[in-house]
């Protein structure tokens, strides 16, 4: 399933869809219902044409995204005010839930044209949960075999990879036949993940922490308010004045 960029005309397209499906009173005659439906359509088309001549590119993109949304499968739940800044792919047989106010892809973020955002809940019992106001740069890949959770207000850099599974068995004879070990990944609130970070199975990142660019985060529990970096990643510094505290 693919989703491309949306822009400011979403409200106009939403109005057309709402009016076209608005129920009419039962006591109206067939002729009156037809006249009201025609009036609504003419009024909405007039608004759409005015918007088109003001900004053709934005209008066409918004029309595309609005018409694409009904075809997203029921296993994918999208919150309000989602901004797909670049092409998105929803793959797998599991559940994908995205909160409100999320953004995926930035035109000026680098690698915009040659990458996409892929969210994959691979198996029927897989869960990929993304909180509210999560913003990601280009090229994000998240693969959940069991469960991946990214909590509210997390910032994600370019070309970040998150996976909760080895994908293949460790034993040489079973490497092609087994799924491999899976352990949930949890990324706390207000975490900042730098460019080219890889987060592997079993990792838990505490609230407000920062993961340095290029780090490989293995299956450990990292505390809140920490700066994490390296391969394998480790805590290199604590954030002395975290959110909610003030200097006196």
Catalytic residues: 168
* φ, ψ at 37 (rounded to 5°): -60, -40
Residue 107 has pLDDT above 60, yes or no: yes
Residue 64: partners with Cβ closer than 8 Å, 6 or more residues away: 4
C-beta atoms surrounding 94 within 10 Å:
20
Let me know: does 140 contact 108? Beta carbons within 8 Å: no
Average pLDDT of 200-216? 97
Over range 88-100, report the average pLDDT. Answer: 93
Residue 217 in this model has a pLDDT that exceeds 80: yes
Confidence at 248, pLDDT banded by 50, 70, 90: very low
pLDDT band at 203 (very low <50, low <70, confident <90, very high): very high
């Amino acid at each position: 399933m693919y989703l491309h960029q949306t822009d400011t005309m979403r409200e106009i397209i939403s109005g057309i869809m709402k009016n076209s499906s608005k129920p009419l009173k039962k006591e109206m005659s067939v002729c009156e219902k037809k006249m009201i439906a025609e009036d609504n359509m003419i009024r909405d088309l007039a608004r759409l044409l005015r918007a088109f001549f003001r900004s053709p590119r934005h209008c066409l993109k918004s029309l595309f995204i609005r018409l694409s949304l009904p075809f997203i499968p029921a296993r994918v739940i999208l919150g309000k005010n989602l901004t797909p800044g670049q092409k998105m792919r929803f793959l797998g047989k599991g559940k994908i839930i995205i909160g409100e106010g999320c953004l995926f892809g930035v035109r000026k973020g680098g690698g915009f044209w040659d990458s996409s955002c892929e969210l994959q809940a691979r198996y029927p019992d897989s869960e990929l949960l993304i909180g509210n106001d999560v913003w990601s740069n280009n090229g994000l890949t998240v693969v959940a075999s069991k469960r991946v959770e990214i909590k509210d207000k997390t910032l994600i850099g370019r070309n970040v990879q998150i996976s909760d599974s080895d994908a293949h068995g460790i034993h040489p004879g079973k490497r092609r036949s087994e799924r491999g070990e899976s352990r949930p990944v949890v990324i706390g609130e207000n975490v900042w993940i730098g460019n080219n970070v890889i987060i592997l199975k079993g990792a838990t990142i505490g609230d407000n922490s920062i993961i340095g660019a290029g780090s490989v985060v293995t299956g450990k529990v990292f505390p809140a308010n920490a700066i994490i970096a390296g391969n394998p990643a480790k805590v290199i510094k604590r954030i002395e004045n975290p959110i909610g505290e003030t200097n006196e």
